[in-house]
Structure 1
Amino acid sequence: MTPQHRAPKRYQRRVFLGLAGLAAVPTGAVFMLQSRTQAPPAEATTGPSAAPSASPSASPSAAVTVPKIVTSGGGPVPFRRGRAMLGAYLGLDGLSPASAVDLRRRQLGRDLRILHVFYAWTDVLPRSIAWLPDDAYPMISWRGTDHASVLRGDHDALIARNAKQIRRFGRPVLLRWGWEMNGDWYAWGGADNGDNAAGYVKVWKRIRSIFADQGADNVSWVWSPNWNDSPAAKWNAKARYYPGDDQVDWVGVSGYNLHREAPGTMFQPIYDAYATRKPIMITEIGSVDRGGSTKADWITLAANWIEQHPAIGGVVWFDTDTHPGYHEKWRIDTDRESLAAFRAMARDAHFLG
């Protein structure tokens, strides 16, 4: 995504909802709101400087040879070749998480397979989520902090405590620690740590090692960069942040249609780089509505593109209208056409997971 549309660098994405309204979520949880990697134009003057985005007119997959894909993997949350679990971050105005899940169940005629929630670095991660459907997996996006303090061991007790929490969850969990590390908007990104990606890899390995020591073997580890690097410098290339095949269960990616980006423009490079080794998950995705059927058309375009790429085992929509200071309504039911397009995807056998 293009960072000229991101909120100010120190504005913390996924702002906390009042916990009083989230009684169903364990203490410390944050069912957080997202300031997009491409945040609203109104905030652009206070955001970090822009890096050029790919041309929106680029063909999604022209002249691209689709690689031989993985046939297994995913860790405790297994990958099924040619099937994509459909999920969402749900932050719907006036609705509790449980009510939002129920609304989507009624609209789509089925439950979502992945429910996406966000936690701050110092939060206590959940050992249960009351509103999680029986056949759904939680994807927990856990914020990070600076590299040096983690590598000194300052947070070992916190990490171990959360590993124990997740171990007690009682079902497989997708854990997405320190996402979009190749952007310059987070404390755990290379740009805030001496323009160096190596520290991120060391932190990842330390966290995963502590989880292993605590017996948290129900975790599928999701490594999830942004689709474009910001800054677009050699040291900040997303591949430099990759912890290694033995450290990652799913390769994720964030990408939003804000400037008429085709799905392939955002997702094909990640697919080409990793689909021979790891299952792919589109961990954050959404589309601007430019009037008429533009949003519905893009949802259909994305669904078709995903079906043509069988290593994609999950797609998690950014389904919300509650992001503070953001005019765009990302929820899937902003109009009948968009809901119909999303419902068609949800009822397609490819997306039953």
Structure 2
Amino acid sequence: MKARRRYQIAFFALGWLIAIGLLFQMGLGEGFQSIYEAFGNRALRLAQSFSDVEGNALRSVRRTSRAEYLAPMRPTLASVTALRNPSRMLFGVYDGGFPNTFAGLEKFESQVQYKFPIISFYVAWGDKPDEQFPTRMVETINRMGSVPMITWEPWVIDFDERLRRNLPHVAEREYGSLASIAHGEYDFYIVPWAKAAAEYGKPMFLRFAHEMNDPYRYPWGPQNGNRPEDFIAAWKHVHLIFQKMGADNVLWVWSPHISMPWFEYYYPGAEFVDWIGVGVLNYGNVASWSRWWSFHQILEKAYPTLLNFNKPIVISEFGTLTKGGNAYEWYRQAFYQIDHTYRRGIRAIIFFNQESDVTLTNAPLNWSVTQDPGARTFVAEQLATHSSI
């Protein structure tokens, strides 16, 4: 089938999907709901399959620059057992263009002259297409030779009230949401996700409900009545569903906010956790609540407690801004501390390559190491030398 004909079919299918959606909006949702969901899923799979045909052609051209580059690491990257205790330092990257484009990743890898074995991205809970299991994304990452790391965020307000009448009103959902997850109220979403993860079958990291102990950031935090025991119960419930669905390919990343006290009370237990994730982001002096912190200053107080869990540590968000200090010096000191102070615990580092972060400030923040030429050159050198450690 020619490319033009494939796209004609795809747009025809999506056109019908939009038409049915309009009928749904006009109040005819009950009669069309099951038809809409089934047709929508088929149309999305059809459109994505056509896009994947074009993507495969591009990847075949680039194979020598990525999948073959990472081929020596396949014995580790293809094994869940090996990834639970890697023999070398693993590096990864999150790019602000995900999941819409890999252009930022390609640019970043070109600038630091390195292909990252872990590719990190974020998925929220909800009914929207981009909130379902990201089959296309993880398959693409696998074909590129890397392992996906998904930060899975339980934004329970994103579920459509018209479809999910068993759930509380949107305004009431966030309070005690972790207990609701533990009681099975969101199994309608978790079970298909776990099934899809099992069908994917290859190793993937899952960082569920990160920074659950921070009362200032996410709705699954303690400010909404979510206690440590609620988080642990929710974690174990989700973990059990994945086990029942056969998703043994998932590596579980427990990721507290280490600047908040008593984070250890949120630990689900050794049998439910494979890795510990820690964010180390230096905000400099961009806001009244921040100042210039070194890598060591951010991590040192919590590190002994983290080490006691006897799990490999991944720096799940790694980076610094440039306002308030010297980025090159920050990275130089960070790698020195990784080598001399934290080498026993830290086994993976994920660069936070977001050039326009507006999650905490009105003005966009640039976390990319490439904005500082000295830092970029230094990091490229460290990636080349540390990959064999």
C-alpha RMSD over aligned residues: 2.8
* 2:23 equivalent in structure 1: none
Change (3 A) 1:164 1:76: farther
Match of 1:88 in 2: 93
1:75, CA displacement in angstroms?
Answer: 5.0
**1:142 partnered with 2:167:** no
Hey, what does 2:265 align to over in structure 1? 240
Distance, in Å, in 1 between the alignment partners of 2:153 and 2:253 is 13
Query: 1:250 and 1:239, CA in 2 relative to 1: closer, same or farther beyond 3 A?
Result: same
For residues 249 and 99 of structure 1, the distance between their equivalents in structure 2, rounded to whole angstroms, comes to 31
Match of 1:159 in 2: 190
How do 1:184-223 and structure 2 match up within 5 A? 184=215, 185-194=217-226, 196-223=227-254
Structure number with the bigger relative contact order (C-alpha 8 A, sep ≥ 6) is: 1
Going by fraction, where is helix more abundant, 1 or 2?
2
Moved over 3 A (4+): 23-27, 73-76, 324-327
| Cα deviation 1:101-153 (Å, max 9, x = unaligned) | 22223222221121111111122122242542633211100012411321231
3-state SS in 1 of match to 2:300:
helix
Q: 1:274 matched to which residue of 2?
A: 306
* Alignment partner, residue 14 of structure 2: none
Quick check: 1:183 aligned with 2:189? no
2:48 and 2:108 map into 1 onto residues whose CA distance is 18
1:285 counterpart (318, 341, 363): 318
What is the letter of the counterpart of residue 151 of structure 1? A
Give the aligned residue type for 1:126. Answer: P
TM-fit CA distance, 1:333: 1.1
Q: How far 1:96 moved relative to its partner?
A: 5.4
What's the counterpart of residue 255 of structure 1? Answer: 280
Q: Classify 1:92/1:340 alpha carbon distance in 2 versus 1 (closer, same or farther; 3 Å).
A: farther
274 and 200 in structure 1: CA distance in 2 versus 1, 3 angstrom threshold: same
In structure 1, the residue matched to 2:365 is 328
Local SS of the residue matching 2:270 = coil
Alignment match of 1:102 (pick from 97, 103, 106): 106
Residue among 337, 347, 351 paired with 1:313: 347
Deviations 1:230-287 (A, max 9, x none): xx5xxxx101110011110001111211222122222234431232511111111211
Match of 2:333 in 1: 301
Which of 340, 343, 347 aligns to 2:380? It is: 343
Q: CA 1:298/1:260 → structure 2, altered by over 3 Å: closer, same or farther? A: same
CA change 1:246–1:25 in 2 (3 A) is farther
Instruction: Specify whether residues 268 and 351 from structure 1 end up closer, same or farther in structure 2 by C-alpha distance, changes over 3 A only.
Output: farther
Quote the Cα distance in structure 1 between the aligned partners of 2:86 and 2:214. 30
Instruction: Establish whether residue 121 from structure 1 lines up as the match of residue 125 from structure 2.
Output: yes
For 1:181 and 1:223, locate their aligned partners in 2 and report how far apart those are by CA, in whole Å.
Answer: 10
CA contact (8 A) 1:150 1:156 kept: yes
> Take 1:26 and 1:77, find their aligned partners in 2: how far apart are those partners?
33
Q: What TM-score do the two structures reach when normalised by structure 2?
A: 0.65
Contact 2:90 2:387 in 1 (8 A): yes
Deviations 1:75-98 (A, max 9, x none): 5633324x32111110159x9532
Match of 1:64 in 2: none
Larger radius of gyration: 2
Gaps of 5+ in 1: 1-22, 28-72
TM-score (norm 1): 0.71
Q: 1:163 to 1:268 in 2, by over 3 A?
A: same
Residue aligning to 2:69: none
Identity level (%) = 26
